[in-house]
Amino acid sequence: MNSDPLIFDLINMISIPSINNFGTNDINLNPENEMSNYFERQLIKLGLEVESCEVANGRRNVWGRLKGTGGGPTIMLAGHMDTVGVDGYDNPFVPKIENGKIFGRGSCDMKAGLSAYLDVVRKIKEEDISLSGDLIIAGVIDEEHRMIGSIDFGTNGPSIDYAIIAEPTNLDLCPVHKGQVLLSIEILGKAAHSSMPENGINAINHMSILLQKLQEYSISLSKRNADKLLGNPSFNVGLIVGGDNACSVPDSCKIDIDRRIVSGENHEKFLDELNEICLAIQQDIKNFKYSISPPFLNIKPLNTPLNSPLMHALQKASDEILGSHVIKAFPGSTDAPNFNCEAVICGPGSLEQCHSLNEYIDIEEIKNAVSIYISAIINLQCN
């Protein structure tokens, strides 16, 4: 056993293969469950008031509350308990410590953050720090797929004033990120034998026309006025499926799209834009038929004001612990906006490590994260 409880927790958590089940309904394929159980046990051991909520098929969010003396804001440290897959990864769940780093799947994204949260509570208790508001430590499920854990927590969980999310930022402060909308467009054609294509409507041919228009749309997005921190909205077609075989006129062709949205945009606006493009094609091609699915992921942009008390507290903490602070946009989308409160992403580790086949975390950086969180909590609860 490693004598530092922070390292001990992290090693234990990396050893739990909590790969996201990516949408399967099979309750036996729920490896996050062991992480929920472990995290819950640690929260109980630390003496917090612990609650949990089954979000889907035995998949539980768990959180613990350290009661404040009253009057201060409720601050949450939240993170996801799932990881991405491990195809091609040698010994992903056998943590290895080398040169001040800990290696293994989930080390950086984001079990380092979860172990840092537990250490924050441990140190607050050991040092007898009195907090005016409550501190909540939360582990949520499913960030790597549809974020159903944080969506449920934001809707049905306890009310929170400020949240810190320890996704890897190298401890930079990220108060904003783009939102993300995923959806499908299906082109509907008419099947026929390929020897008589005139009897059918070729859905793949129609899709090729749409794809050209979508490419023009994508270029137009890159020319829109950029947000200072966030940059431009963007668009990607990432999957195409259509047809059965070379000898049939395909009656269907479907694409999956990822649209990154910035402040002032939302999924309704995006749907309007897509309909406009498709309706314009229909003006020229009368039998062009399409159907747009409802979004299967719809994450709002994170838009915490730079003058938020949370940002002030984190800047001061970072200056104190690291000697400086960096403010930037987080490149991906996260659970943060789902918590429906002012939230900042700030965590140990680098995004380059996330999802890689050589994931690791620097131990010193986790310890700095713990110090920054404690200092920011004290800063906020003294205001």
Binding interface with Zn ion (CB under 5 A): 109-110, 167
Q: What is the 3-state secondary structure (H, E, C) of the chain?
A: CCCCHHHHHHHHHHCCCCECCCCCCCCCCCCHHHHHHHHHHHHHHCCCEEEEEEEECCEEEEEEEECCCCCCCCEEEEEECCECCCCCCCCCCCCEEECCEEECCCHHHHHHHHHHHHHHHHHHHHCCCCCCCCEEEEEECCCCCCCHHHHHHHHHCCCCCEEEECCCCCCCEEEEECEEEEEEEEEECECEECCCHHHCECHHHHHHHHHHHHHHHHHHHHCCCCECCCECCEEEEEEEEECCCCCEECCEEEEEEEEEECCCCCHHHHHHHHHHHHHHHHHHCCCCEEEECCCCEEECCEECCCCCHHHHHHHHHHHHHHCCCCEEEECCCCCHHHHCCEEEECCCCCCCCCCCCCCEEEHHHHHHHHHHHHHHHHHHHHC
Q: Is the CB of 110 or the CB of 163 nearer to Zn ion?
A: 110
Identify which of 137, 148, 156, 158 has the alpha carbon closest to the alpha carbon of residue 77.
Answer: 137
Min dist. Cβ of residue 42 to Zn ion (A): 19
Q: Is the CB of 20 or the CB of 375 nearer to Zn ion?
A: 20
Min dist. Cβ of residue 334 to Zn ion (A): 7
Min dist. Cβ of residue 256 to Zn ion (A): 21
Q: Is the CB of 68 or the CB of 92 nearer to Zn ion?
A: 92
Q: Is the CB of 110 or the CB of 341 nearer to Zn ion?
A: 110
Min dist. Cβ of residue 370 to Zn ion (A): 18
Please provide the distance, in angstroms rounded to a whole number, between the alpha carbons at the two ends of the chain: 40
Min dist. Cβ of residue 356 to Zn ion (A): 13
Q: Is the CB of 167 or the CB of 362 nearer to Zn ion?
A: 167
State yes or no: cis peptide before 147, omega within 30 of 0.
no
The answer to whether the CB of 21 falls within 8 A of the CB of 35 is no
Residue number of the CB atom closest to Zn ion: 109
Min dist. Cβ of residue 143 to Zn ion (A): 6
The answer to whether the CB of 265 falls within 8 A of the CB of 336 is no
Min dist. Cβ of residue 68 to Zn ion (A): 28
Min dist. Cβ of residue 347 to Zn ion (A): 9
**Cross-strand partners of 174:** 345
Min dist. Cβ of residue 74 to Zn ion (A): 23
Q: Is the CB of 84 or the CB of 210 nearer to Zn ion?
A: 84
Chain-centroid distance, C-alpha 111 = 14
Q: What is d(CA 138, CA 40) in angstroms, rounded to the nearest whole number? A: 9
Q: Is the CB of 40 or the CB of 109 nearer to Zn ion?
A: 109
Q: Is the CB of 32 or the CB of 167 nearer to Zn ion?
A: 167
Q: Is the CB of 110 or the CB of 336 nearer to Zn ion?
A: 110
Q: Is the CB of 46 or the CB of 110 nearer to Zn ion?
A: 110
Min dist. Cβ of residue 339 to Zn ion (A): 14
